[in-house]
A = this chain, B = another copy of it.
């Protein structure tokens, strides 16, 4: 496994692989890898000849006051996991290499980034699209795999790629969960034992709404309320948002007459967790 930390070296490696006609698969991460990340890598591996994983805690996608400084990091452990999956190259640049002095260029997707996390985390998606665009220019992948847990992020990346005609195939991977249902996240490490238990309420809230849909409920307000009631059972849970929106455009919907995404964000203790489920009429 090659460990690369400069832009020029990564581009050189990508150019060489492309000249050899090899298909490059890419999984961008912020490190502190869990099984969810590894599934994305296995997915990339099954579709490409070479897999590149980036590890970069991207400062521009943290809103003011968020957990950039204390975001969990463990590069040594990450490297072990990457080797175990058979990743071909790790791109792990320094912040100063990605954002050198005088940096002033940003990529912005406008509409699909407005609600949900976009409304709650100012600048977050601008940071995400900027760094992903830059990583695409560096790693030059044919395909890239993103988790569906960050549903709005996945839609945003898809939109950016289509709008800017980036020649990269974007693959969404289903949410990977712990055996008890908790969506895997690097931020789960923030949870105390008691919080870890209450964090289950997110997936349970989604299951409850899903059950109601199966039983014939189609009113968005009723589905959202049901999910909220489940979340409110947790004494340490503070809802950030709970909304049902069009699964393609993220526009508001009153009735589940087409696929909708039930998107949840909640603080459990200090950890801000998100989860979602696509509900179909």
Which residues of A are interface residues toward B (Cβ below 8 A)?
7, 11, 15, 18-19, 21, 102-112, 129-130, 133-134, 137-138, 140, 159-160, 163-167, 249
Q: Which residues of B contact A165 (CB under 8 A)?
A: 7, 11, 134, 137-138
Q: Which residues of B contact A19 (CB under 8 A)?
A: 19, 21
Q: Which residues of B contact A110 (CB under 8 A)?
A: 104-106
Select from chain B the residue with minimum beta-carbon distance to A10: B165
Interface pair A104/B163, CB less than 8 Å apart: yes
Interface pair B103/A163, CB less than 8 Å apart: yes
Interface centre among A7, A108, A109, A111 (most CB of B within 10 A): A108
Interface pair B137/A167, CB less than 8 Å apart: yes
Q: Which residues of B contact A138 (CB under 8 A)?
A: 165
Q: How far is the CB of A122 from chain B (nearest CB, A)?
A: 16
Select from chain B the residue with minimum beta-carbon distance to A97: B165
Q: How far is the CB of A195 from chain B (nearest CB, A)?
A: 37
Q: How far is the CB of A169 from chain B (nearest CB, A)?
A: 12
Of the candidates B15, B107, B159, the one whose C-beta lies within 8 Å of that of A164 is B107
Q: Name 19 A/B residue pairs within 8 A (Cβ), A-sorted.
A: A11-B167, A15-B167, A18-B18, A19-B21, A102-B249, A103-B163, A104-B109, A104-B111, A104-B163, A105-B108, A105-B110, A105-B129, A105-B160, A105-B164, A106-B110, A108-B108, A137-B165, A137-B166, A140-B167
Q: How far is B160's CA from A210's CA once the two chains are assembled, in angstroms?
A: 45
Interface pair A107/B104, CB less than 8 Å apart: no
Q: Which residues of B contact A21 (CB under 8 A)?
A: 19
Of the candidates B105, B134, B160, B249, the one whose C-beta lies within 8 Å of that of A109 is B105
Q: Which residues of B contact A7 (CB under 8 A)?
A: 165
Q: Which residues of B contact A134 (CB under 8 A)?
A: 163-165
Q: How far is B12's CA from A165's CA once the two chains are assembled, in angstroms?
A: 12
Select from chain B the residue with minimum beta-carbon distance to A139: B165
Interface centre among A109, A133, A160 (most CB of B within 10 A): A133
Q: How far is B158's CA from A105's CA once the two chains are assembled, in angstroms?
A: 11
- What are the 10 A-B residue pairs with the smallest beta carbon separation, nearest first? A105-B163, A104-B110, A137-B165, A104-B111, A105-B109, A138-B165, A134-B164, A105-B160, A137-B166, A7-B165
Q: Which residues of B contact A18 (CB under 8 A)?
A: 18
Select from chain B the residue with minimum beta-carbon distance to A156: B105
Q: How far is the CB of A167 from chain B (nearest CB, A)?
A: 5
Q: Which residues of B contact A11 (CB under 8 A)?
A: 165, 167
Q: How far is B150's CA from A121's CA once the two chains are assembled, in angstroms?
A: 37
Q: Which residues of B contact A133 (CB under 8 A)?
A: 107, 164
Of the candidates B104, B137, B163, B167, the one whose C-beta lies within 8 Å of that of A112 is B104
